[in-house]
Structure 1
Amino acid sequence: MRGTILVTGATGNLGAAAIDHLIAKAGPDRVTALARNTEKAAPLHAKGIDVRLGNYDDTAALEQAMKGVSKVLLVSSNDHGQLLTQHQNVIHAAQQAGVKHVVYTGTAVKDADASPMSPMLNAHFRTEDHLKDSGPPYTVLRNTMYTDALPIFLGQDLFERGINVPAADGKVPFALRREMGEAAANVLLHDGHEAKTYQLTASEPYTFQDIAHVLSEHTGKPVPYTSPDPHAFEDNLRSAGAPERGIAVLSAFVTDMREGRYDIITQDFENLLGRKPAPLRESLREVYGL
């Protein structure tokens, strides 16, 4: 089905990855981007994309951005306190404009109520419910943790000091963000995905010991893995000058990894890509430039 595709969060990593694949497969004429400011949108203009300014809180701008749009990729907000309201604003604007299909990027996690991140995770699931109940035809993409985010957890000096993350033997099916963007583009460019929920995960889960092993092989130097006491981990971050909010968020994500909330494996990602997603060895090489 042809028509203009609006990508929200277009200057972020996931939105940009989806746009690159949409351009490669359908050309820039079919792509419209929602961006918050002109400066950040300049690279999108350079690619020949129609850029419409606005944000998830500005309902008038959202309504304007939806004009002439057939499909929308709703990249989830990172404003955790306002996440649900902001998503509802986008969905309502799409509904009012007669958009034919909204693709939403949520999160692949289980047992959300037990998570220290439960308010944010449940806002994702409530967004899904709202989209299904009151929005246009939908597809939900529940994305696993990004391999690209590992440097945040592993720190800048992991090759000197090793990996010190209190994830124990928790398993996570890490996947590359660019492949997530490709899967989203494929959903937007082909029919048959309406009223479906996909869990996008790697083909197998990995522990942080697996990550340490692969990095050791890539560099030829031992990269040891230690799973410290969670409180000691937080104290180390505090000593390094990390803000309390950042410590709380990082610790919460690690808790969910340690307790197996991301340990979900499906064939959905492989099916949407038409191939197996990049394995850990290839993904880490790309992320760390090895």
Structure 2
Amino acid sequence: MGKILITGATGNLGSKTLELLLTKVPFNQVAVLVRNTESEQIKRYVKEGVEAHQGDYLDYNSLLQAFNGVEKVMLISAQAFTDRNTQHFNVIAAAKQAGVKQVIFTSIIRNENSNLIIPEVTMSDIFAEQALKASGLAYTILRNPPYLEVMHSYYGDPLKVGVRVPEGLGKVAAASLDDLAAANVAILTQDGHENKSYTLSGSEGSSFADIAEALSEIHGIHIPYEAISETEYSDTMVANGLPVPMTDFLLGWVRAINTGEFSGISGDLERLIGQKPITYKDFLKNKFPFSKVEN
């Protein structure tokens, strides 16, 4: 197996992918692209033999240097509210120039016939997928659902205010970062995934009303689900200190969930990781991120 490079290796998904990968392959077969090679997290891996490169998606020369001698690049998609098209294209072009054989890209789940667009995400992910397919590189596209770890950002702390979101009956088959990282590692360490796309939906769908009901069961109290207008939702978010662009961004995800954009369950994630992904109920029970009930 040739050298594997993970971009965004200190981010949420990238760091989990790196940690799991290092349990499967020798440290000296792994490289990372990070903005700060002097962080304690990265220095710890470098001492064990991981090759660390300082750079970012907008620095083309840093990408070329990092990709030298690399067989597979794990391209963790760029953050929203940045020039994602340029960043993704730079990675793909540099990988091609450097002689990389395969690029694995984390995209977003979407219904192929859907007209719904999530600002800052949908169109740039489509652009990256198309650029990767046209590059001549072997590719694997991993379409990710919303993360279970960030679902609470759409409705805040339900133990204090309940689950208050715009009305909708759609469900979301969210998945955990741990399970998605395991899928990344499966692709990076196995053959046969070249020029394929996978839809990494979780194992169970849930609406916002379902989440409120599950939380009520877990904590033995009534946590209400309340359907509010989009205007009230946005006004509440802004009143809580979020800037308007971020509020619009979150509202886009809520609309997608409420219209069933992420409701399909493909089974791809389970097949890749060899076990059923964690359900939203088990996640809420075992990794609950909210405050405790105050008497």
TM-score range, shorter chain: over 0.9
Q: Partner letter of residue 214 of structure 2?
A: V
Asked if 1:36 is matched to 2:35, the reply is yes
Question: Hey, what's the Cα distance between the residues in 1 that align with 2:194 and 2:287?
Answer: 32
Report the Cα offset of residue 289 of structure 1.
Answer: 5.6
Q: Partner letter of residue 25 of structure 1?
A: K
Question: Hey, what's the Cα distance between the residues in 1 that align with 2:267 and 2:231?
Answer: 36
The farther-off stretch of 200-209 and 110-119 is: 110-119
Question: Hey, what's the Cα distance between the residues in 2 that align with 1:59 and 1:204?
Answer: 40
The farther-off stretch of 233-242 and 67-76 is: 233-242
TM-score normalised by the chain length of structure 2: 0.92
Question: Hey, what's the Cα distance between the residues in 2 that align with 1:85 and 1:183?
Answer: 26
The corresponding residue for 1:5 is 4
The corresponding residue for 2:104 is 103
Question: Hey, what's the Cα distance between the residues in 2 that align with 1:218 and 1:27?
Answer: 41
TM-score normalised by the chain length of structure 1: 0.93
Spell out the pairing of 1:171-186 with structure 2 (5 A cutoff): 171-186=171-186
The corresponding residue for 1:277 is 277
Give the gaps of 5 or more residues in structure 1.
none
The corresponding residue for 1:90 is 91
Tell me, what secondary structure is at the counterpart of 1:38?
A: coil
Task: Check whether the contact 1:84–1:127 (CA below 8 A) recurs between aligned residues.
Answer: yes
Report the Cα offset of residue 116 of structure 1.
Answer: 4.4
Report the Cα offset of residue 173 of structure 1.
Answer: 0.2
The corresponding residue for 1:46 is 44
Give the count of matched residue pairs: 287
The corresponding residue for 1:265 is 265
The corresponding residue for 1:60 is 61
Task: Check whether the contact 2:63–2:91 (CA below 8 A) recurs between aligned residues.
Answer: yes
Asked if 1:234 is matched to 2:214, the reply is no
Structure with higher helix content: 1
Asked if 1:77 is matched to 2:78, the reply is yes
Question: Hey, what's the Cα distance between the residues in 2 that align with 1:181 and 1:211?
Answer: 24
Question: Post-superposition, which runs of at least 4 consecutive aligned residues in structure 1 deviate over 6 A?
Answer: none
Question: Hey, what's the Cα distance between the residues in 2 that align with 1:167 and 1:94?
Answer: 44
Give the gaps of 5 or more residues in structure 2.
291-295
% identical aligned pairs? 35
- Superposed CA deviations along residues 256-287 of structure 1, whole A, max 9, x for unmatched, are 11122122220110110111111112122343
Question: Hey, what's the Cα distance between the residues in 2 that align with 1:153 and 1:234?
Answer: 11
